Amino acid sequence: MEKLAAFVMIFLVAMPMGHCISEGPEEVDEWFNKLPDAKEKITKLHFFFHDRFAGKNVTAVRVARATSTAKSSTFFGLIFVMDDPLTERMNPTSKELGRAQGLYAFSGRDELSLLMAFNLVFTSGEYNGSTLTVLGRNPAVPHREMPIIGGSGVFRLARGVASAQLRSFNMTTGKALIEYNVVVIHY
């Protein structure tokens, strides 16, 4: 297993990655040199996040669980890694705009809440190859707000807010649908 992990790490470092910005250090340096003259932009994004944690075509897998999690009414200590599709519409077969890649951990001992740490990786359209990073608390309330703490590509030096609203959740099928409205400031 360690040999496989080493091979994958070498492969990732040596090979260009799909859906990534192809700018090298010189281009990034040039971008920062132009920054004092750049104007801030506000971009609003809307998409649907499809989390499949059971059944076929799982996009979120459990990677850790505390010994006390089974006795917890809030699933405290349970951690999932995800690679969830982001689509244009509620229908999971609608146009895919990108992926939500990262993790979520059940972090509330006395109330149901998650710690979310993930990247919105855009794989099509004008934001193809760019990312936004979300890191924050996701409580079990109808409307959630999580901070955008950075980004890459078009969204370099981004900051903003990701508002999420649960649209459907089915424990039997293992599917959750979350609607996202994102407002981001960038250059």
For residues 34 and 183, what is the distance between their CA atoms, to the nearest angstrom?
A: 24
Window from 1-10, 67-76, 124-133 with minimum mean pLDDT = 1-10
Window from 35-44, 93-102, 120-129, 144-153 with minimum mean pLDDT = 35-44
What is the pLDDT averaged over residues 117-145? 95
105: number of CA atoms within 13 Å, CB side?
11
* Confidence (pLDDT) at 105: 96
DSSP 109-138: SSS-EEEEEEEEEE-SGGGTT-EEEEEEEE
In the predicted model, what is the mean pLDDT of the chain? 89
Residue 2: pLDDT over 60: no
At 48-87, the pLDDT tens digits run 999 999 988 999 999 999 999 999 999 999 999 999 999 9
Question: What is the DSSP-derived secondary structure letter of residue 153?
Answer: G
Residue 4: pLDDT over 60: no
Residue 8: pLDDT over 50: no
- Beta-bridge partner residues of 164: 144, 180
